[in-house]
A and B are shown apart, each in its own frame.
Chain A
């Protein structure tokens, strides 16, 4: 903390309190995870600033004030420059923006948003099923099954999603039923995210520790029952924030359907482009489209953050609680595919 809230300073060792011993993350995962919440406050939020110094004295405060003033001026100048650029090029004229006051345009855009949302949710549902299968395969007692699951999951995760969606758009109609671009998009999203979610589930199961499985086997469960009845239910609950984050990623990725497939999926991006071209204001159409994406995804991200805070209070931090970036299930490919 730089210049504020000395009250958080007594919080230093609270992580020790918050993670009871049996919840500690076992073996290979017990590295960076346990200490992660040292900068966490009572409400589970993590302070941005770390105390790199003591409370600022009069001179330090003065310097911060000067820096603040300079930064404000520079940022204001930047904003003015951007606005000037827009108006110089005639991009601020009402003609170019008037479409945002028309209900029919909004209806058109919202239809795109609806397609984006339904495609994402359907793909997510399928991905959850595939992910559960993939995780079960990777945790299977038979070595052959494990090997197949590992190869499939790692190869899928190492493939660019664009390529996979493009492939589905060519492959499925050629060798299977003609379902239409919407479904090729859904299939592409579902297979890729199934692999990612398989890793999320596996990380969740691993974070439980061997005791749970051993106890289940000891009371006579088979391996499959232990997985279904004991391990998965707990793992899924722990991984809910990571799954919501993955849904945000999936939702963003769904916009690939507008660019990669022919005919294009009429999702939000596609409709936004059409509105822009139709009204001779492509920049404005795309900016409005981006704004809609931001609103929807921010809402989802906020939900994920709330869930993460709740989980952090409940379990201490598991590796996914810091966001899918942290650790991830580090496999051969890339952990935690937050991107795109």
Chain B
């Protein structure tokens, strides 16, 4: 374990990059997901088709394939970014599809009766959405979105395969340098635990506090 202590600064740099990748990708994924979900419930047929197609295609392709296409394929179309940016694009596009599903499921948890009741006491479209549907829908998405964030943190480790230096990338380097993979990788796992375990606890607590008991 000396190995981990001696290379703490390397882990720390990787840790920072993992957090950066995860948070920025999650922000973009939220935007993409909300757009997708609103397209899917919209009355405009082409937008519905677009969102459905996107979710189907993206969800059924491994994240590895997305990253490899972005990193090795798209330069052939003249689209080239740094490894970090490529990873953020890939993680956002991929997670966005899942966020879209979560938001849509959240909207679907609000019963039809609620909407009918709101309509019958005279609320218009905007008010129904703002006062009745969204407050309930958003609460229903907290737990699944939290697990998506946790999954995103763990998925960001895949970015090391396109030479991003986050925790996993740093660990990969250390393995090559020290030729002692087991302690190095255990150190990397511990680094991830400092993110994923508190995240899980926090999400549970948050979810318990704001969940609507029906």
Interface residues, chain A, with chain B CB atoms under 8 Å away: 2-3, 9, 11-13, 31-32, 34-36, 38-39, 46-54, 56, 64, 67-68, 71-72, 75, 85-86, 89, 91, 154-155, 158-163, 166-167, 170-171, 174, 248, 252-253, 255-256, 258-260, 269, 273, 276, 282-283, 286-287, 289-290, 293-294, 297-298, 301, 322-323, 325-328, 330-340
CA distance A96 to B111 in the complex (A): 52
B35 within 8 A of A: no
Interface centre among A34, A166, A297 (most CB of B within 10 A): A166
* Minimum Cβ distance to chain B for residue A319 (Å): 10
Give B89-116 as 1s and 0s: 1 = Cβ < 8 Å from A's Cβ atoms: 0000011001001101101111111011
8 A-B pairs besides A31-B211, A160-B156 with CB distance below 8 A are: A91-B76, A170-B185, A283-B76, A325-B105, A333-B150, A333-B196, A335-B144, A339-B151
Residue numbers in B under 8 Å from A72 (CB-CB): 46
A49 near B76 (CB under 8 angstroms)?
A: no
In the complex formed, the residue of A with least CB distance to B79 is: A85
Decide yes or no: A158 and B196 within 8 Å by CB, A255-B65, A287-B73 being known contacts.
yes
Give B146-189 as 1s and 0s: 1 = Cβ < 8 Å from A's Cβ atoms: 11101111111110110000001001100100000110010011
Residue numbers in B under 8 Å from A289 (CB-CB): 65
Mind listing 13 A-B residue pairs with CB under 8 Å?
A32-B109, A32-B214, A38-B112, A47-B108, A50-B115, A167-B182, A252-B63, A253-B62, A283-B77, A286-B65, A297-B59, A334-B196, A340-B155
B157 near A160 (CB under 8 angstroms)?
A: yes
B122 within 8 A of A: no
Residue numbers in B under 8 Å from A330 (CB-CB): 143, 147, 203-204, 207
Please name the 9 residue pairs, one residue from A and one from B, whose CB atoms are nearest each other, closest first: A334-B150, A297-B60, A170-B181, A160-B157, A38-B111, A252-B62, A2-B43, A283-B73, A339-B151
In the complex formed, the residue of A with least CB distance to B114 is: A38
Decide yes or no: A340 and B62 within 8 Å by CB, A160-B157, A256-B158, A335-B147 being known contacts.
yes
CA distance A276 to B157 in the complex (A): 25
Residue in A31, A171, A259 whose beta carbon sits within 8 Å of that of B161 in the complex:
A259
B101 near A49 (CB under 8 angstroms)?
A: no
Decide yes or no: A325 and B77 within 8 Å by CB, A53-B128, A163-B189, A170-B182 being known contacts.
no
Interface residues, chain B, with chain A CB atoms under 8 Å away: 40-48, 50, 56-57, 59-65, 68-69, 72-74, 76-78, 94-95, 98, 101-102, 104-105, 107-113, 115-116, 119, 125, 128-129, 133, 140, 143-144, 146-148, 150-158, 160-161, 168, 171-172, 175, 181-182, 185, 188-189, 192-193, 196-197, 199-201, 203-204, 207, 211-214
B151 near A337 (CB under 8 angstroms)?
A: yes
B46 near A68 (CB under 8 angstroms)?
A: yes
Q: Is the interface of A mostly helix, strand, loop or mixed?
A: helix
Residue numbers in B under 8 Å from A338 (CB-CB): 98, 151
Decide yes or no: A50 and B62 within 8 Å by CB, A171-B181, A328-B147, A334-B147 being known contacts.
no
Residue numbers in B under 8 Å from A335 (CB-CB): 143-144, 147
B154 near A334 (CB under 8 angstroms)?
A: yes
A38 near B113 (CB under 8 angstroms)?
A: yes
Interface centre among A161, A333, A334 (most CB of B within 10 A): A334
Residue in A64, A75, A171, A256 whose beta carbon sits within 8 Å of that of B182 in the complex:
A171
Residue numbers in A under 8 Å from B160 (CB-CB): 162
CA distance A64 to B148 in the complex (A): 33
A290 near B61 (CB under 8 angstroms)?
A: yes
Residue numbers in A under 8 Å from B65 (CB-CB): 255, 269, 286, 289-290, 293
In the complex formed, the residue of A with least CB distance to B182 is: A171
A158 near B197 (CB under 8 angstroms)?
A: yes
B105 near A339 (CB under 8 angstroms)?
A: no
Decide yes or no: A325 and B98 within 8 Å by CB, A32-B211, A52-B128 being known contacts.
yes
* Minimum Cβ distance to chain A for residue B160 (Å): 7
Residue numbers in A under 8 Å from B98 (CB-CB): 325, 338-339
B158 near A39 (CB under 8 angstroms)?
A: no
B112 near A163 (CB under 8 angstroms)?
A: no
Decide yes or no: A328 and B144 within 8 Å by CB, A159-B192, A339-B151 being known contacts.
yes
B197 near A332 (CB under 8 angstroms)?
A: yes
CA distance A171 to B203 in the complex (A): 33
Residue numbers in B under 8 Å from A294 (CB-CB): 56-57, 60-61
B168 near A163 (CB under 8 angstroms)?
A: yes
A333 near B46 (CB under 8 angstroms)?
A: no
Residue numbers in A under 8 Å from B44 (CB-CB): 64, 67-68, 71
* Minimum Cβ distance to chain B for residue A189 (Å): 13
* Minimum Cβ distance to chain B for residue A300 (Å): 9
